Structure 1
Amino acid sequence: MARDTQRSKVYAAEQLVRTLFERAEERGNRAVDFFGAQLTLPPEARFGSVDAVRRYVGDVMDLPSVRIRWPTADPLTVRARRGVTAAHYEFDGSVAAVAVPDRRCTWALRELVVLHEIAHHLSRAEPPHGPQFVAAFCELAEAVMGPEVGHVLRVVYAMEGVR
């Protein structure tokens, strides 16, 4: 397996993006000034259960734009995980799954985190957070949440030195 040298940069960039969404939600105003451009961020879905994440992942995988862009994507399941602090993607050679904590962990039960894990499935990149994954996540976020989200991710990744 290739060394995942930009993992920490990817995580730092995505934390900045999640914070941008949180601040917009706290203010009750989704319009943000983003490096001189006025953007209106879409609402970010929050999930109350593993079943809600499961339905969302199924809906995303069934989107025509996702099916056209990634026509060979295998089915993706969702399961509860024991740990309560993170979500992760796993593929054991026959079954692909997103593992998410139950409702005790609101950090992982949010749209941007779930889309990150779906992007792992769609890219199957080596290293896991390399350029292929980054491109897949940006494309997926743009297709699902809108062009503003894809733009924000690309700019913040670039600021953090992510390729």
Structure 2
Amino acid sequence: MTARDAQRAKVYAAEQFVRTMFDRAAQHSSRAIDFFGISLTLPPEAKFGSVESVQRYVDDVLARVGAPPVSVRARRGTAAAHYELIDGAAVIAVPERDSTWALRELVVLHELAHHLSPAPPPHGPAFVATYCELCETIMGPEVGLVLRMVYAQEGVV
């Protein structure tokens, strides 16, 4: 982590907390939660079975928000997903094996937020705002609210 991406660890911690909330909600018959004294119903989160299904989802999201295309490719390692520019072409790499954590909507939207907010630092205020807005637009206002509140709890700006 460089000084330029100083809040990366906080962003990842907040997002892990939110993903855990979604996992726990999916395990119960009710998606209703009490979140900091607010009654919310979390929407279902899309899960993907292949790189091809992630690509279809990415294409649909980008068409909805009017953004340039991104290619999705498989990644060898299972520890991370990432966004990159290769010769000016935008690419999201997701691990396809042993990585159900990465083949999910919240992770894919995180990588798309990098595409929509290329300003440095990679996990800075512009990225955070873009990710919250994207999740709110695509998944629903409850997700945007949860992300903003958890980011605030973690000290993310």
For Structure 1 versus Structure 2, the TM-score category normalised by the shorter chain is over 0.9
Question: Is the 8 Å Cα contact of residues 103 and 109 (structure 1) preserved in structure 2?
Answer: no
Paired residue secondary structure (1:116): helix
Of residues 118, 125, 144 in structure 1, which corresponds to 2:119? Answer: 125
**TM-score, normalising length: structure 1:** 0.92
What is the total number of aligned residue pairs between the two structures? 156
User: Does the 8 Å CA contact 2:62/2:68 hold for their aligned counterparts?
Assistant: no
**Deviation readout 1:65-92 (Å, 9 max, x if unpaired):** x12xxxxx43211111111222100013
Q: Deviations over 1:21-75 (max 9, x none)?
A: 1111111210000111110000001100000100000010011xx12xxxxx432
Structure 1 runs, 4 residues or longer, greater than 2 Å off: none
Identify unmatched segments of 5+ residues in structure 1: 68-72
* Cα RMSD for the two superposed structures: 1.3
SS at the partner of 1:3?
Answer: helix
Unmatched runs of 5 consecutive residues or more in structure 2: none
Matches within 5 A, 1:75-90: 75-90=69-84
1:13-92 pair list within 5 angstroms:
13-63=14-64, 66-67=65-66, 73-92=67-86
Secondary structure at the aligned position of 2:34 is classed as strand
Conservation of the 8 A alpha-carbon contact between 1:24 and 1:31: yes
67, 78, 101: which one aligns with 1:107 = 101
Deviation of 1:103 (Å): 3.9
Equivalent residue, structure 2, for 1:135: 129
Q: Under a length normalisation based on structure 2, what TM-score does the superposition of the two structures give?
A: 0.95
> Do the aligned partners of 1:85 and 1:107 also contact (CA within 8 Å) in 2?
no
How far apart in 2 are the matches of 1:98 and 1:51?
A: 12
